[in-house]
Amino acid sequence: MNRTGGIMRRLFLVGFMALWSGLVLIPTAYAMDQPIFGGTLDNLSGTATEYVRINDNGQTWHGTIARSYTAVPANVSGKFKNLKVHVTIAPGAGTSYAFTLMVDGVASALTCTISDTAIACSDTTNQVTVTEKQTLSLRSVPTGTPSSLADATWSMLWEGSSAIVIGGTPGNLVNSGTQYEKISGGDSSGSGTIAARSQLNATAGTLKNLYVATDLPSGPGTGKSYQFNVIVDGTASGITCTISDAAANCEDATNTKALTGGEEIVLEHVPSGTPTAADNTWWGIEFVPTTSGESPVWGGDNDSPGTLDTEYNFVHGGEIWDAGESSMYQLNQVCTLRDLYVKAAGAPGSTKSFTFTLRTSDAGNSLLGCAVSDTATTCNDTADDISITDTDNRLSISSVPSATAPTTGRYYWGMTAFIQPASTRNRLIVVD
Q: What residue ranges define each of the domains in the chain, with the CATH number in brackets?
A: 32-164 (2.60.120), 165-290 (2.60.120.40), 297-418 (2.60.120)
What's the whole-number mean pLDDT along residues 161-190?
90
What does the pLDDT read at residue 130? Answer: 98
Asked whether the beta carbons of 313 and 396 are under 8 A apart, the reply is yes
Convert the pLDDT of each residue in 31-79 to its tens digit.
899 999 999 889 999 999 999 999 998 778 999 999 999 999 999 999 9
Q: How confident is the model at residue 271 (pLDDT cuts 50, 70, 90)?
A: very high
CA 141 to the chain's CA centroid: 23
What does the alpha-carbon distance between residue 323 and residue 315 come to, in Å, rounded to a whole number?
A: 15
pLDDT above 60: residue 16: no
Q: With DSSP H G I counted as helix, E B as strand and the rest as coil, what are the percentages for the chain, rounded to 5?
A: 5, 55, 40
Report the predicted TM-score, pTM, of the whole model to 2 decimal places.
0.90
What residues contact 11, with CB distance under 8 A and at least 6 apart?
A: none
What does the pLDDT read at residue 2? Answer: 45
What does the alpha-carbon distance between residue 232 and residue 239 come to, in Å, rounded to a whole number?
A: 10
Convert the pLDDT of each residue in 407-425 to its tens digit.
988 999 999 999 999 864 4
Which of 137, 172, 146, 174 shows the shortest CA–CA distance to 63? 137
Asked whether the beta carbons of 370 and 381 are under 8 A apart, the reply is yes
Rg, Å, the chain Cα set: 24
pLDDT above 50: residue 3: no
